[in-house]
Amino acid sequence: MKRIVYIVALMVVALGACSDNEMTGAELKSASLLAVDIDGSTSVELNELKAALVGEETELSDEEMAGLLWMREEEKLAGDLYQTFNDLYDWRIFGNISRSESTHVAAVLTLFDLFGIEDESPEEVGVFANADIQKLFDELKASGEVSLVEALKVGAYVEELDILDLEERLEETNNADIQLVYENLLRGSRNHLRAFTRVLAQNNVYYQPLILSDDYFNEIVEGEMERGSQNGNCALGYGYANRNGNNNRAQYNSGDCEGDPQNGVGGQQKRYRGGN
């Protein structure tokens, strides 16, 4: 009898502890929006994402529409490049992150379905509807074909570019569903940047950021891998960037980048070379 009372008492204590830390339905959804592998490859859990979307009918602004079309092909660019480099070098990180990028594309296409947007991006690897992205892909592919190290540097550069573009697109929308997708893609990009730079470091190569400021870059790569979340802004706590200058979208090159990070008003770090 005493043993039964003891077990019941333990159950009460355990249930009380759970109650004190009870998660809301939204938190339960958000806890599993991303799946992060041991190497940092980060995939979107599409079923959980669809369940978390608000799905309200809305008319998209021109900026929101342009942002979705751009990010759809930029995510494809990343996946196609990594697939190409995996075929060339048979290096695990490219295969794993390429598969993750396919879920990033699918996450954007979930928004296409939600808002009734026609997807005009070709399925063929390395072929794009947007001429600027096509040109960028061709340049990055050529750079990565030089050597495995250059391909890894291209991977890090692409993730820098993703971070910049996703933060820019987040500034242009108040739509909760678009924000949800972009915020989690942003976490994925930061994880992939960590993954590529760590593999480079393991091979005694230090990656010099070409787009992010040194401070912002170091804050990212020295941080822990991020899991998916439905709520909150930037995991690093700076808020989204507000760029007014040259954002260094220029052609990728493997040389060092000039320019030192500067502090903005109120001590907020400057996130981008030539911008804020």
pLDDT tens-digit readout, 66-108: 999 999 999 999 999 999 999 999 999 999 999 999 999 999 9
C-alpha 171: how far from chain center: 16
Structural domain total, the chain: 1
Residue 22 belongs to a domain:
no
- b/e map of 47-85 (b: 16 or more CB within 10 Å)? ebbeebbeeeeeebeeebeebbbbbbbbbbbbbbbbbbb
Within 35-147, residue ranges assigned H as helices are 46-52, 62-89, 92-115, 131-144
- DSSP, res 44: E
At 223, list the tokens: 């941080």
Residue 250 belongs to a domain:
no
Domain of residue 107: give its range. 59-222
Percent residues over pLDDT 90 in the chain = 69
Residues whose CB is less than 8 angstroms from the CB of residue 51 and which lie 6 or more positions away in sequence, other chains included:
29
Residue 269: phi and psi, rounded to 5, are -65, 145
Residue 206 belongs to a domain:
yes
Q: pLDDT-based confidence at 17, cuts 50/70/90?
A: very low
CATH number, domain with residue 94:
1.20.1260.10
- Tell me the C-alpha distance between 207 and 196, whole Å: 9
Q: Is the pLDDT of residue 149 over 70?
A: yes
At 163, list the tokens: 């971070």
Residue 149 belongs to a domain:
yes
Residue 274 belongs to a domain:
no
What pTM, to 2 d.p., does this model score?
A: 0.77
Residue 44 belongs to a domain:
no
Residues whose CB is less than 8 angstroms from the CB of residue 261 and which lie 6 or more positions away in sequence, other chains included:
213, 214, 215, 216, 269, 270
pLDDT for 96 equals: 98
pLDDT for 106 equals: 98
pLDDT for 56 equals: 79
Residue 117 belongs to a domain:
yes
Between 115-119, 170-174, 203-207, 267-271, the lowest mean confidence (pLDDT) is in 267-271
Residue 52 belongs to a domain:
no
Pair 179, 167: CB distance under 8 Å: no
